[in-house]
A and B are shown apart, each in its own frame.
Chain A
Amino acid sequence: MEDKGGGPLLDSTIATRIVLAFQSRPTALQARLPAPWQVTATPAGANLVVIFNDVWLNQDASGRAAPDAVNRYVGFVTPAKHPDTGEEASFNFRIFTAHPDSLPGKYRTARPATIRREQEVQSDALTATVSERFTFQIPDGGLVDLRLKYVGGVPTHAAGRARVRSAADPAILRVYHVDQLVYVVRDVPKGIDRVQDLRVDVTVPELRDLFDGSEQLISITVSPHYFRQVYGR
């Protein structure tokens, strides 16, 4: 099996995603990181990324459908840096998922949720208007709810890689090789705004310190066409 630096191929995913980047309280994020990792931020100031995933197919390394072949989940991630080695990685510290076979998951951070999903894509010739909704009801209380309506355009093609570690066990490292189409539907620093309607509610008790009203939305990107191969050990 091909080794692309992080180890052999572990799995691959084909999905659609909505990625919300926030600036939240650094101390609350730092409290979720294992020592000696330090929370960082993107040049635009985002230090908390919330990723809504609608998975069409998860495959294992041999190409077979994974036990959680079709799934819906939301992941919470913070960028961090190792002060000694300089390594940069994103730390996954929580996932809420609809699939029982995704528990506790590859990062050992997943918890179950009841999920409702709605999407409407209205295309008229060469323009599309898209309405999205993800609602994750958490059994212990609270919800994560996204309502988004935006006007599409011509997406950009992006390919890249990312290192993702688990906040529950930093020895878990998965290296993502991603090929995707991206709509930037809001980018506050760049003045891009294709959003017609937006509401984000996060009322999960364990996330209250991150979503206390002081958090600021930096950007929203949508990937209608997302392919990822993950390498690791």
Chain B
Amino acid sequence: MALLNVTRDTKVHVRLRANPAALQRRLPQPWTIAPAAEGPHAGANLVVIFSEVLLRQDAGGGQAPDAVDLSVAFLIPAAHVQTQEPASFIFRILTANPAGVPGRYRNSVRATAKRLRRLAGDGLSTTVTDEMALRSVDGGHVELRLQYQPGVPVRMQWPTTLRSAADPSLVRTYRSDALVDVVWSEPAGIARARDVQFRVTDPSLRDLFDGTERLISIAAIPWFIREEFAL
């Protein structure tokens, strides 16, 4: 495997249960949707990832063209019907950095993006308010607002295989190292987040965000390092 880049960023993962048929339509054959079976994200079949990239470096350690960015990505956890190989399919990205268009997955669109993050701490207790809004040039609008009390995060290291829904031959392997704080989870009964407002009004995603989608979990990831490899 060849290292392509290293990204250091902060993220918020929003996991939902959306219309399975609408998700399946976005996957190439012979892949099928594979919702999380257990844990704090059980039942989620759609992952929305808000990222603020602090620095992306190329394989040589230089600044990548999209060295900094604000973006939101939409992913479907999936599995190969025959081999059961797991992979996440990226099918849409809104990005503030023009160098990220059309992007490594060929499905990024340019967007205006704003984020306002406030932290108020008293001793060891903290309240975080996070607001992010992205508006794409093709009429999409994605907005997240939440307030939460961080807990002690869990350090996790895991590999992921990412594929492009626009071109399934585009395959990337990620090695991630992160602090993960699940601040809201319906399956796990975690409710440290309040005032959650998550809105997607995007013509290309209308079948997924038709009012029947259900929030499963929200994870704050204040520290994230990812190495990206090509197979």
Taking Cβ atoms with an 8 Å cutoff, the residues of A that contact B are 14, 54, 56-57, 59, 63, 65, 69-72, 98-99, 114-126, 154-157, 181, 224-225, 227
Report if B54 contacts A (CB, 8 A).
Answer: yes
Which chain B residues lie closer than 8 Å to A155 at the CB level? Answer: 54-55
Report if B21 contacts A (CB, 8 A).
Answer: no
Chain B interface residue number, banded: 35 or more
- Assess whether A57 is in contact with B124, with CB atoms less than 8 Å apart: no
- Assess whether B179 is in contact with A126, with CB atoms less than 8 Å apart: no
How many inter-chain contacts with C-beta < 8 Å in the A-B complex?
93
> Which residue of B57, B120, B121, B150 has the most chain A CB atoms within 10 A of its CB atom?
B121
Q: Which of B52, B57, B122, B155 contacts A63 (CB under 8 A)?
A: B155
Which chain A residues lie closer than 8 Å to B228 at the CB level? Answer: none
List, sorted by A's number, 15 A–B pairs whose CB atoms are closer than 8 Å.
A14-B223, A56-B222, A98-B123, A98-B124, A117-B119, A117-B126, A119-B117, A119-B119, A120-B118, A122-B116, A123-B116, A123-B117, A125-B114, A154-B67, A155-B54
- Assess whether B152 is in contact with A65, with CB atoms less than 8 Å apart: yes
Report if B160 contacts A (CB, 8 A).
Answer: no
Q: Which of B63, B96, B179 contacts A56 (CB under 8 A)?
A: B179
Which chain A residues lie closer than 8 Å to B54 at the CB level? Answer: 155, 181, 224-225
Distance (Å) between the CB of A214 and the closest chain B CB? 32
Q: How far is the CA of A126 from the CA of B110 in the complex (A)?
A: 13
Which chain A residues lie closer than 8 Å to B70 at the CB level? Answer: 123, 125-126
- Assess whether A56 is in contact with B121, with CB atoms less than 8 Å apart: no
- Assess whether A119 is in contact with B55, with CB atoms less than 8 Å apart: no
- Assess whether B112 is in contact with A125, with CB atoms less than 8 Å apart: yes
